[in-house]
């Protein structure tokens, strides 16, 4: 039986042919491997875990929400390379594999209509327009909750557009900075996406993130500037479906799971 690695190689070859022919490439919903297949191979998930990808060996990649040492997570990719899809996959995974008592999911975005879908969670999930005062009020409440040291559940904070933080009030920016620095220790987990072309203009904010995931970045010079390491396969990632991260001194490629 073909492995996911075989599938990945074949799909990349197919993508190259499609580009050369000038025809449409399949979207992420058409090619993403099924999460259920990976979970059947891996067995039961640990408590407080979220599936965020499937590696080439067919096994799931997990975000352990009870391991604050990884800190806030930054996702960098070109426009149209699946940043919103990645965050929405996290929301779907958290919804499916965590009880209502364990997990709350909050999303901040300049485009809330992109999150109005029947695939989104129907409980413990809320979308905040990043340009509204209620987003600042929410982050102030989260910062206060985090400062109290409470750990009676996890909060997944998905921010779709790091550059939007520049339009927040000073108190909103201070609250968000506090959450990036101290949130994971109290189970408030910021996962933040940013357009690669804009990321280089936000050095003070990028400095908060040690854990980084990359989608397709077509410009190799920009990719090297953002990774600070040569050899990242960013320009060959399948847009909207394939991502990579640094793991044990090598680049680990993975696919978004399909639920």
* 51 and 257 Cβ atoms separated by less than 8 Å: yes
Q: How far apart are CA 190 and CA 148, in angstroms?
A: 17
Neighbours of 218 (CB within 10 A): 14
157 has a pLDDT exceeding 70: yes
3-class SS of residue 58: coil
Predicted local distance difference test score (pLDDT) of residue 40:
57
Q: How far apart are CA 256 and CA 120, in angstroms?
A: 16
Q: Which residue has the higher pLDDT, 258 or 212?
A: 212
CA 115 from centroid of its chain's CA atoms: 14
In 3D space, the residue among 61, 60, 34, 65 whose CA is nearest the CA of residue 48 turns out to be 65
Number of domains in the chain: 1
Domain with 47 in it = 4-255
pLDDT tens-digit profile of 110-143?
A: 999 999 876 787 778 999 999 999 999 999 999 9
In the structure encoding, which two tokens stand for residue 98, read together? 């965590």
pLDDT at site 106: 95
User: Partners of 160 in the beta sheet?
Assistant: 109, 193
Q: Which is nearest to 173 in space by CA: 210, 146, 140? A: 140
pLDDT for res 25: 45
Q: Which among 38, 9, 35 has a CA at the least distance from the CA of 238?
A: 9
Q: Which of 139-148, 172-181, 211-220, 250-259 has the least mean pLDDT?
A: 250-259
In sequence order, which residues have a C-beta less than 8 Å from that of residue 52 and are 6 or more positions away? 61, 62, 63, 86, 89, 90, 93, 257
Task: Please provide residue 88's backbone torsions phi and psi, each rounded to the nearest 5 degrees.
Answer: -65, -35
Average pLDDT taken over every residue of the chain? 84
The pLDDT of residue 33 is 66
pLDDT of residue 29: 45
Contact between 148 and 168 under an 8 Å Cβ cutoff? The reply is: no
pLDDT for residue 100 is more than 60:
no
**Coil, strand or helix at 46:** coil
Q: In the predicted model, is pLDDT for residue 3 greater than 60?
A: no
Q: Which pTM was predicted?
A: 0.85
Domain CATH for 95: 3.40.50.300
CB atoms within 10 A of CB 95: 21
State percent of the chain over pLDDT 70.
80
Q: Are 197 and 78 in contact (CB under 8 A)?
A: yes
């Amino acid at each position: 039986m073909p492995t996911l690695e075989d599938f990945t190689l074949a799909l990349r070859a197919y993508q190259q042919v499609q580009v050369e022919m000038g025809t449409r490439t399949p979207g992420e919903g058409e090619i993403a491997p099924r999460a259920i297949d990976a979970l059947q191979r891996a067995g039961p998930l640990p408590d407080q875990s979220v599936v965020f990808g499937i590696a080439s060996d067919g096994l799931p990649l997990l975000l352990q929400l009870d391991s604050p040492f990884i800190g806030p997570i930054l996702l960098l990719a070109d426009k149209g390379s699946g940043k919103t899809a990645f965050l929405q996959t996290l929301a779907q995974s958290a919804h499916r594999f965590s009880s209502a008592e364990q997990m709350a999911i909050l999303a901040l975005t300049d485009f809330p209509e992109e999150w109005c879908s029947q695939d989104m969670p129907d409980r413990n999930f809320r979308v905040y327009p990043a340009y509204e005062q209620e987003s600042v009020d929410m982050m102030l409440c989260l910062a206060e909750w985090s400062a109290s040291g409470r750990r009676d559940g996890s909060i997944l904070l998905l921010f779709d557009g790091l550059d939007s933080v520049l339009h927040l009030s000073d108190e909103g920016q201070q609250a968000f900075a506090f959450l990036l620095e101290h949130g994971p220790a109290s189970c408030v987990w910021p996962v933040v996406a940013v357009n690669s072309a804009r990321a280089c203009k936000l050095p003070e904010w990028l400095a908060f993130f040690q854990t980084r995931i990359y989608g397709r970045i077509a410009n190799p010079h920009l990719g090297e500037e953002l990774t600070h390491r040569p050899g990242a396969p960013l320009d060959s990632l399948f847009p909207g479906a394939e991502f990579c991260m640094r793991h044990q001194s090598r680049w680990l490629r993975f696919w978004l799971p399909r639920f």
